[in-house]
Amino acid sequence: DKFANLERLKNKIGDADERNLDVEKITERQNLLRTIEEALNHLKIDREMIEKRISDLRAAEKMHENCNHLCNELNALIKEGEKVLNDAEAFPTIYT
The residue ranges of every structural domain in the chain are 2-95
pTM of the model: 0.64
Alpha carbons 49 and 9: distance in angstroms, whole number: 24
Tens digit of pLDDT for each residue in 11-30?
988 888 888 888 999 999 99
Helix, strand or coil, per DSSP, at residue 76: helix
Tens digit of pLDDT for each residue in 34-58?
999 999 999 999 999 999 999 999 9
User: Would the pLDDT of 94 be above 90?
Assistant: no
State percent of the chain over pLDDT 90.
Answer: 59
Element housing 63 (H / E)? helix 23-86
